[in-house]
Structure 1
Amino acid sequence: MKFAYRFSNLLGTVYRCGNLNFTCDGNSVISPVGNRVTVFDLKNNKSDTLPLATRYNIKCVGLSPDGRLAIIVDEGGDALLASLVCRAVLHRFHFKGAVHSVSFSPDGRKFVVTKGNLAQMYHAPGRKREFNAFVLDKTYFGPYDETTCIDWTDDSRCFAVGSKDMSTWVFGAERWDNLIYYALGGHKDAIVGCFFESSSLDLYTLSQDGALCVWQCDTPPEGLRLKAPAGWKADLLQREGEDEDEDEDEDEDEAERETTIRGKAAPAAEEQRGKVQYSRVAKYFFNKEGDFNHLTAAAYHKKVHLLVTGFASGIFHLHELPEFNLIHSLSVSDQRVSSIAINGSGDWIAFGCSGLGQLLVWEWQSESYVLKQQGHFNSMVSLAYSPDGQYIVTGGDDSKVKVWNTLSGFCFITFTEHSSGVTGVTFTTTGYVIVTSSMDGTVRAFDLHRYRNFRTFTSPRPTQFSCVAVDSSGDIVSAGAQDSFEILIWSMQTGRLLDVLSGHEGPISGLCFNPMKSVLASASWDRTVRLWDMADSWRTTETLALTSDALAVTFRPDGAELAVATLNSQITFWDPESAVQTGSIEGRHDLKTGRKELDKITAKHSAKGKAFTTLCYSADGQSILAGGMSKFVCIYHVKEQILRKKFEISCNLSLDAMEEFLNRRKMTEFGNLALIDQDAMEEGGVTIPLPGVKKGDMSSRHFKPEIRVTSLRFSPTGRCWAATTTEGLLIYSLDARMLFDPFELDTSVTPAQMRAALCQRDFTRAILTAFRLNERKLLQEALESVPWDEIGVISSSLPDLYVEKVLEFLASSFEESRHLEFYLIWTQKLLMVHGQQLKSRVGTLLPAVQFLQKSIQRHWDDVSKLCDWNRYNMQYALAVSKQRGLKRPSEPPGSEEEADASEDDDSSLHLLRRGPGDGDGPLA
């Protein structure tokens, strides 16, 4: 149970490809991120990634009208029926082909899938358990090219399908007599969107060349007639009709003239009516800014009559239909708008740009951003946890440094001062300074109070830095050079270069300071690890000889052990005091790298050239986390040197090096299909500015990123760990809510015994019984039953073995409980009574204490902001009362002084409404 880490959240990537959706309440955006789905709660400012994944990148997501179910379809045609309530997969289905779009009917009874040049209508799954959740109802043919979009009428009677053959087809969801299908032309390019008007069959169609056609229907939705059944259905319904006629004693002549349709009589006059006809009443064109400014996405809100269109240049327009009045014309970025969605009230508009991985939610009435998030354009290289575990900083190849909030999952600040790829990031011990190294030859320090770059460390001659480290005091900054094989030391206070350490004969691959001493460990490709004494003229104290190139180095949290990852897939452990190797782990068989599409050798032989590139000790120092050029992350026991658990970080086959064996289906007589340029004929195909370049500008048209783990870090609390991968920033945490993990359990320990002890006011026995059962509700009931004035006595009677468990429970309770003062009293009494005994177990108790500090720090930040706001209000009230008290009572009303005072009052009121600090800091 100690290493029962589960996937918790995905940060660093907010949108990859596919369509965006708003939930039925309009407060959350559902965004496909690779082969996962992330829900962004805009009201509560949180993001949550569902614990499910598809085999390939997600192509489209269909949301049911009640918001309970979602159909998630990937690029390979595999579909998942997921419940957004219980966050689980209910059913799996394969559509046997690439699906472009999926849409539920407004009544939720059916859904339509466009696949190839046809549309298939399925019965929607119900709330009861079914053997087959997807039952095919009808298949509609008509378009001659691939279908692109779907839209339903409000009454679910008809739906429209757009196609790349420049036509739009209107189909009936039932067997209508006067509407089987209707084809609409009038466009000169592929159809991007088609939308029905509210409570009508009138239609709007948009094409890729920026043309909008308005189609008017001569028949209302109520005018659709059901077609008379034929064959055995007609005979059966005729018998039922005859029985009804005999009971009601109707005339036979009148009965012969009636047409029975599903047991109901239809007037003969309706049979003489003509078919449904459409006529084009208007055609509009959008303002084009260049030959390649194609219309790429569109959305329409039927109640507000708001049309939103996005273009390849990043511009989006807001129009009011049917008059086609322009409301706004703004730009998101310089990349194409891939998807647009409008919430139920029509206030918020979501935009997704796949080129930059950007997600924006725009409130068009106030012209303000509700959400503006963007991940790293290229792969993330490094990460670091803040000392309290509340923040994560990441650096990427796009030269950006981003800081993420672990509670909300959002990036709240982005630093763009670097001009080249960021290679290393780290926090100082205070947690308010970030130090980064880059390939542009600079090391920069950023302040999280004022969000600025306050120090820039440079080298005497141009060089490229590959890693960075800061000592425990935060005064010494070191960085390793990749080309000059040197280590540069600066002072954080003055920013001056203190020394240049020479001695390595290869590029520096890793730096790490001893947490307890002023000793710096440097790993290099020259097969050595050198230990430098910062207190004794920066001289080399020891040189550790390795059998292969060193790729990563890290100290244990207590500084008594050193771990080094080498190129031959080994992890060696050293005693830094005696420079003696204490153990080694062979990790070649645990990496299990996959086979690339163009590899000539098998995955088994390819694994021989792979190694671990990043290491991290657990908070207690007993285990080590390792990852590298593989989809697996391994946790090893350091003392026993055995594998404890292995995590598969991704199952996305859209990434390279995922498959273990060669896919024979891709081998043809002309060669491997991976060599064929599949995206050359598509609109979103990438041009080739520089042949052979696959990192930076994605110049290869058919580009598949390789799965790898670039950095790993354990949280200081020990409850979770993070990994920067090709997918993004993955968070794995201990989800203890779904686990039954008792402690010293026997037959006499039951919930009834605990409640009986509470009735007898034997609180110590009740608490011990609850912790032996280890059920959260029982623990909360036992602790909250203790009167606040008896907490000190009960704390002193608890055994030392249970104090750590109580502290862990208190730390987790701070995040969700409202009894803040009550749990603070518990924490204070426990630390005061058992402080001396806990000092002997600092190593094991450190994660629990850091978890406790993180929870209390978060509450302290919230309460301090509230106190500052209340203090500001009181100062404002005192200033206003003093100003009114100084007025002379003899002054007539409306005098000049009173007018000035009223102006001051208005200005003070304006400041009060604005609040202290509004407008300061970055936009989250």
Structure 2
Amino acid sequence: MKFAYRFSNLLGAVYRQGNLNFSQDGNAVISPVGNRVSVFDLKNNTSETLPVSTTKNITCVGLSPDRHLAIVVDEDGAALLVSLITRAVLHHFHFHKPVNSIRFSPDGRKFVVTKENVALMYHAPGKQREFNAFVLDKSYYGPYDETTCIDWTDDSKCFVVGSKDMSTWVFGAERWANLIYYSLGGHKDVIVGCFFEKDSLDLYTVSQDGTLCVWESDTELDGLVLMKSRDKPKPSRPGEEEGDEEERLEGEEGEVIRGKAEAPKGKNTKNVRYKHFFNKEGDFNNLTAAAYHKPTHILVTGFASGIFHLHELPEFNLIHSLSISDQRIASVAINSSGDWIGFGCSGMGQLLVWEWQSESYVFKQQGHFNNMASLAYSPDGQYVVTGGDDGKVKVWNTNSGLCFVTFTEHTSSITNVTFTSSGFVIVSASLDGTVRAFDLHRYRNFRTFTSPRPAQFSSLAVDKSGELVSAGAQDSFEIFLWSMQTGRLLEVLGGHEGPVSCLCFSPVQSILASASWDRTVRLWDMLDSWQVKETLSLTSDGLSVTYRPDGQELAVATLNGEISFWNPHTATQTGSVAGRHDLEMGRKETDKITAKQSAKGKSFTSLCYSADGESILAGGQSKFVCIYNIKEQMLMKKFEISCNLSFDAMEEFLDRRKMTEFGSLALVDEGAGDGEGVNISLPGVKKGDMSSRHFKPEIRVSSLRFSPTGRSWAATTTEGLLVYSLDGSMVFDPYDLDLDVTPASIRKQLRLQEWASAIVLAFRLNEKALKQEVLETVPHEQIPVICGSLPDIYVEKLLGFVAASLEKSGHLQFYMTWAQSLLMLHGQNLKNRSATFTCAPTEPWHPNSNQVHYCKCVCSVYRCDFNMYNIRYAVALSKQRGVKRAAEEDERREEEEEEEKDGDDGDDGLSEEMSEASIGDAEMVL
């Protein structure tokens, strides 16, 4: 069995906190989810989580204008420069303080970061080659409190910064003679958004109390005059003025601009022309988020009550108003065309995209409000069902990563969910005392199973036929059996002396295994009067039990951290694994003991066999998931499901710098963690309300399942539903498949040296490893012959595979030979199929340009712009070599002429003789 599982996707969570962004074409939403970033494709209805993660929850994301680069910043100010094309981390940086907002200039040359009361302008990475990707250009001081928002003018000459001190500051990106800085007042609350008008210095500012100010400038953007170098004042340094406070980061240098509360005299002025007020219905209706679309002049504002407004500026005409949630709207974003508006609600974990012209939802997703408790794969592996502590049952599509149905009939936490063998019925157990069955054809709850006396069901199992439904109670220690057809209670099984923690039906026999806290596992015969067939004695409380896929073995996880394996026919133990040391628990902030001592009380709470039955997957109250080999009884691999330090119990040792004589600083509660604050705080409270409740969730794994194909597995964790797979894309995607297309028949063709037939069969089966094996077996001298005999449809598929192999394979010349032969023989046909392969119409198609057109084919296959830079580099290098070669040729010609001139001066007769001889030789050659 292979163990090279990698993180594939994150389901069950679509938005946590931070700002939303749209892609360049406006068809995708980029949303921060915890310490990861997810991309939701609105046209193809798919989701993808980038394989990058920060050390803490993400607070803000800044995208370059071309949407190729993203700067992701977490709660501590640690930043990652991420390529959205290659999905790779390009650079690490630390701002040393929490960052409130980040914004690139429209020309992509600069970006501004606001932290505390300072705005820092950096040179954007990628525009020039630097050892450090983040080079500080200028530091702008002006506000007296934390900065909140940023906006740039369209020509990137100026930017504006809003602050919590109710002031707005306009700064020049360069040293303009008539605009260095400008301070704007007039608001009575925190500035939420500030926006420049299109191609103008006119400004809109929005504050938290629902006030909109329209500012007009008497200077146009074209009227800004660059200050001469001799007029530039010297940058101030620490200690020059009394009271100056300036922080310089290591290795950074930049010009410091300090603004005063009043505007410079004699400079351009801004005046408030209009002041508008949003309708308020109470103190809870604070304005929390705003976005402005410059081409259409539409302002979108979100409020704490879940209402949003659309206004047309500067007339302040109300276009649209709607209540989308009962929770606070944390982020608002508008796409490039202005048709779609994205909303993020951190309280409920909602992500909505609203099309305001048709007044309809384009995208509407919400994760589980609290922790996930259980998951189950459908028999075909296409769907995953999850149950959470919020009482909701959600069904997710594994291909798209999106939820397509939510059942809300339960009134309390879900403890277990499962599919029936048909794959069209979902059964869920809850603490509300009911077991419900849901139909995936009609999306309704068609069965509700209850007990004679109210009971809280903590475990659930459905037999192979789908007829028997069993649930275990954690308060009455009984197991209830119902009929799926009639919905009637068939039997109540008693005998356990503790809560029933887990149930599992045998896949080959009508036998039910139940694990309990009374240190026993009981095997119940469903065909023989519901009697106990065997009783397995455990060394500790039973937490989880599962059957091997062939039904010949039973695995039990106990409270002492062991996994024991039993033969269900002979009731004998066949082996055990001590996994307590593999959990490696971290130390919680409230623990009085070390992590090593705390780990002695931890254990596995979920088990799952692999498809072949040779390995078992185990997880519990830890950030690690372990895979054990059953036969060898040893650990094969450990997976760290999260590195997010925003969760509790992540670090093994507490930070001594946070320890005081009164205890850890982490125990000091600063109130609600959503940043919305309170209207009336208690006297003497510096930040937030000490009566509000705030906690750090503890990282843990509540449920694990292998997919039916065995190519992936999923885990419900505190972070969400994590999917790990062996492949990043679809594994089995055959083309024109029949019974004769098998790996054995393909290798038979290779042995017979039928190369073309083997290639066609391999591309019909469409397995990457097999295609690579066939291509690399072909002798290089046979490549032109094989390329000439391939059908056109397989030429396209082969060229795409060769292009992919060139990116990673070390056999560069071998695959370049394939590419050259394909383009030389099928170039005209590929040119005519412009829908798949794009070639420049201005350039003729001839053999001398096949390399250029090959690179363009690679670009069209991958839709990757980076290859264009390789083309430009190759062209520039060839031009440089051509210029160098021409210069050498001119220099050589000049030397020959000088030598001939010297020879002419020495002996004219000899030179004439030689010239006549050379002319004669030339005539003979001609």
| TM-score, scaled to structure 1 | 0.76
Structure 1 Cα separation of the partners of residues 666 and 760 of structure 2: 67
Out of 327, 340, 352, which is 2:332 matched to? Answer: 340
Which 5+ residue runs of structure 2 have no aligned equivalent? 235-263, 681-689, 732-745, 779-785, 792-926
- The equivalent residue for 2:769 is 774
1:295 equivalent in alignment to 2:287: yes
The equivalent of 1:385 in structure 2 is 377
Q: Matched residue of 2:71: which SS?
A: strand
Distance 2:38 2:775 in 1: 31
2:406 is equivalent to residue 411 of structure 1: no
> What secondary structure is seen at the aligned counterpart in 2 of 1:93?
strand
CA distance in 2: counterparts of 1:754 and 1:167, whole angstroms: 77
Report SS of the residue matched to 1:8: strand
Partner of 2:640: 648
- Deviation string 1:601-660 (CA, Å, 9 cap, x unpaired) is 111111000000000000111000000000000000011100000000000000000011
Structure-1 residue corresponding to 2:145? 145
Find out whether 1:362 has 2:354 as its counterpart.
Answer: yes
Q: 1:384 to 1:763 in 2, by over 3 A?
A: same
Matched to 2:172, the amino acid is G
Deviations 1:125-166 (A, max 9, x none): 016764210000000000000000000000000000000000
Q: Which amino acid aligns with 1:422?
A: I
| Cα distance, 1:666 vs structure 2 | 1.3
What is the deviation of 1:115? 0.5
Q: 2:76 maps to which residue?
A: 76
Q: Which amino acid aligns with 1:644?
A: M
Give the CA deviation at 1:774.
2.9
What is the DSSP-based 3-state SS (H/G/I as helix, E as strand, rest coil) of the residue aligned with 1:230?
helix
| Structure 2 counterpart of 1:601 | 593
Tell me the amino acid that sits aligned with residue 38 of structure 1.
S
Equivalent position to 1:329, from 321, 324, 327:
321
Please give the alpha-carbon distance, in whole angstroms, between the structure 2 residues aligned to 1:564 and 1:19: 45
Query: Counterpart amino acid of 1:106?
Result: P
Please, which of 713, 719, 724 is the counterpart of residue 721 of structure 1?
Answer: 713
**Residues 616 and 626 in structure 1, CA contact (< 8 A), matched pair in contact too:** yes
User: Is the 1:161–1:169 Cα contact (8 Å) retained in structure 2?
Assistant: yes
Per the TM alignment, residue 685 of structure 1 is displaced from its structure 2 partner at its CA by 4.8
Q: 1:401 aligns with which of 376, 393, 401?
A: 393
Q: What is the DSSP-based 3-state SS (H/G/I as helix, E as strand, rest coil) of the residue aligned with 1:774? A: helix
Residues 755, 91 of structure 1: alpha-carbon distance in 2 compared, 3 angstrom cutoff: farther
The 2-side partners of 1:705 and 1:448 are apart by: 33
- Structure 2 CA distance for partners of 1:477 and 1:129, relative to 1, 3 Å: farther
Amino acid at match of 2:74: D
8 Å Cα contact 1:687-1:699 kept in structure 2:
no
Whole-angstrom CA distance in 2 between matches of 1:51 and 1:602: 32
Partner of 2:303: 311
1:161-560 correspondence to structure 2 within 5 Å: 161-230=161-230, 274-560=266-552
Partner Cα distance (2:44, 2:587) in 1: 43
Q: Distance in 2 between matches of 1:533 and 1:594?
A: 42
Distance 1:687 1:490 in 2: 53
Could you tell me which amino acid in structure 1 is paired with residue 583 of structure 2? L
Q: Is the 8 A contact 1:687 1:701 kept in 2?
A: no
Aligned match of 1:627: 619
CA 1:648–1:276: 2 relative to 1, 3 Å: same
Spell out, residue by residue over 1:769-788, the C-alpha distance to the aligned partner (whole angstroms, 9 max, x if none): x9999354555999999999
Question: Structure 2: how far apart are the matches of 1:45 and 1:550?
Answer: 42
**CA–CA distance in 2 between the matches of 1:347 and 1:138?**
36
- Superposition deviation, residue 372 in structure 1: 0.4
2:622 paired with 1:637: no
Query: Does the 8 Å CA contact 1:296/1:311 hold for their aligned counterparts?
Result: yes
Aligned-residue Cα RMSD (Å) equals: 2.9
Distance (whole Å) between structure 1 residues aligned to residue 231 and residue 225 of structure 2 = 19
SS, match of residue 563 in structure 1:
strand
Q: 2:18 & 2:515 partners in 1: Cα distance?
A: 43
SS at match of 1:226: coil
Q: Distance in 1 between matches of 2:701 and 2:669?
A: 28
Change (3 A) 1:641 1:464: same
Q: 1:182 to 1:129 in 2, by over 3 A?
A: closer
TM superposition shift of 1:737:
8.2
- Structure 1 unmatched runs, 5+: 235-271, 689-697, 740-750, 789-924
State how 1:738-753 maps to structure 2 within 5 Å.
none
Alignment CA distance shift 1:274-1:519 (3 Å): same
Within 5 A, what are the aligned runs for 1:746-825?
Answer: 763=758, 774=769, 776-777=771-772
CA separation in 1, counterparts of 2:338 and 2:330?
Answer: 20
The AA in structure 2 aligned to 1:645 is K
- 2:291 aligned counterpart, secondary structure: strand
2:571 paired residue number: 579
The answer as to whether partners of 1:593 and 1:603 remain within 8 angstroms in 2 is yes
- Please tell me the residue identity of whatever aligns with 1:158: C
1:701 alignment partner, one of 685, 693, 698 = 693
Displacement of 1:329 in angstroms is: 1.1
The count of corresponding residues between Structure 1 and Structure 2 is 730
Residue 397 to residue 682, structure 1, CA distance change in 2 (3 Å)? closer
Tell me, what secondary structure is at the counterpart of 1:606? Answer: helix
Mapped partners of 2:678, 2:398: distance in 1: 35
Q: Secondary structure at the match of 1:47?
A: strand
Preserved CA contact (<8 Å) 2:109 2:127: no
Aligned partner letter, 1:313? S
- For 1:161, give the aligned amino acid: V
Q: 1:134 to 1:13 in 2, by over 3 A?
A: same
Counterpart-to-counterpart distance in 1, 2:33 and 2:631: 39
Quote how far apart the aligned CAs of 1:679 are.
3.0
Any idea what SS the aligned residue of 1:222 has?
A: helix
Question: After superposition, what is the alpha-carbon deviation per residue over 1:56-100, rounded to whole angstroms, capped at 9, x for unaligned?
Answer: 000000000001000000001000000000001000000011100
Q: Distance in 1 between matches of 2:707 and 2:450?
A: 31
CA distance in 1 between partners of 2:208 and 2:607 (Å): 50
Q: What residue in structure 2 maps to residue 588 of structure 1?
A: 580
Counterpart CA distance in 2 for 1:578 and 1:760 is 55
Deviation at 1:674, TM superposition (A): 1.6
Once the two structures are TM-superposed, the CA of residue 753 in structure 1 deviates from its matched residue by 13
Q: Tell me the equivalent position of 1:24.
A: 24
Shift, 1:302, TM fit: 0.2
Q: What is the CA deviation profile of residues 217-275 of structure 1, one whole-angstrom value per residue up to 9, with x for unaligned ones?
A: 000001001111128999xxxxxxxxxxxxxxxxxxxxxxxxxxxxxxxxxxxxx9941
2:85 match: 85
Partners in 1 of 2:340 and 2:713 — Cα distance? 35
Structure 2 CA distance for aligned equivalents of residues 565 and 232 of structure 1 = 73
Which residue of 2 is the match for residue 665 of structure 1? Answer: 657
- CA distance in 2 between partners of 1:782 and 1:25 (Å): 43
Residue pair 1:686, 1:699 contacting (<8 A) in 2 also: no
Q: Which amino acid aligns with 1:177?
A: A
Please tell me the residue identity of whatever aligns with 1:726: T
Matches within 5 A, 1:676-715: 676-679=668-671, 684-685=676-677, 701-715=693-707
Shift of 1:184: 0.3
CA distance in structure 2 between the partners assigned to 1:84 and 1:344 by the alignment: 18
SS in 2 for 1:590: helix
- Residues 776, 61 of structure 1: alpha-carbon distance in 2 compared, 3 angstrom cutoff: farther
Structure 2: distance between partners of 1:756 and 1:193:
70
Q: How far apart, in 2, do the equivalents of 1:757 and 1:66 lie? A: 52
| Alignment partners' CA distance in 2, 1:760 and 1:329 | 66
Partners of 2:591 and 2:175 in 1: CA distance: 54
**Structure 2 vs 1, CA of residues 787 and 504 (structure 1 numbering), >3 Å: closer, same or farther?**
farther
Task: Quote the offset at 1:332 in angstroms.
Answer: 1.2
Pairwise CA distance, 1:758: 5.9
Q: Describe the superposition over 1:864-892 as per-residue Cα deviations: whole angstroms up to 9, x where unpaired.
A: xxxxxxxxxxxxxxxxxxxxxxxxxxxxx
